[in-house]
Amino acid sequence: MSTLDCCAPKPSLTFSTTCPACGTSGKTVKLVTLKALLTPVALATLDPDEAYRFCPDATCDVVYFGSKRVYRQADVKVPVFQKNQDFRVPVCYCFGHTRADLDTATRNGQADTIPSSIQAHIKAGRCGCELNNPQGSCCLGNVNRTLSALREASHA
């Protein structure tokens, strides 16, 4: 055994936190997110004892990965915001705000109305991100980032 062995990352640990296809580290998603969003055929292969993570990389086709298998965009019932740049893709999945909606609001000088309406829904307990959003968590960061990008583009 060499002296370096103790400092090397454990292979199992590395594999479970980074996407096996692109190497991007992914956040854990709840099993219920996969149960809600996988296609019937993909869901039939789900291992409920496995921990799954979401790959956020825009150019990688893998959406979810576990230690034994991955699920790709074709295995998910909805287009994935991070991986599909189409204007009809939702940024907020719960309340159906697409990139096009955010773009229209920005052009009309009403960019803030969408995030504040989402915030009001969150406060009222209506958000269902873990069931609706492929990333399994709140969309507000994506909404704000998309709005700033649109704002920058409109000033360019």
Residues in contact with Zn ion by the rule CB under 5 A: 19, 21-22, 55, 57, 60, 62
Judged by CB, which is closer to Zn ion: 60, or 92?
Answer: 60
Judged by CB, which is closer to Zn ion: 57, or 103?
Answer: 57
Q: Report CA-CA distances (Å) from 140 to 6, 27, 93, 114.
A: 41, 16, 11, 10
CB of 73 to Zn ion, least distance (A): 11
Judged by CB, which is closer to Zn ion: 50, or 101?
Answer: 50
CB of 143 to Zn ion, least distance (A): 23
Assess contact for 74 and 95: CB atoms under 8 A: no
Judged by CB, which is closer to Zn ion: 81, or 147?
Answer: 81
CB of 74 to Zn ion, least distance (A): 14
Closest C-alpha to 141, from 83, 53, 81, 85: 81
Burial class (CB in 10 A: 0-12, 13-18, 19+), 124: exposed
Assess contact for 53 and 17: CB atoms under 8 A: yes
CB of 10 to Zn ion, least distance (A): 20
Q: Which residues contact 1 (CB under 8 A, 6 or more apart)?
A: none
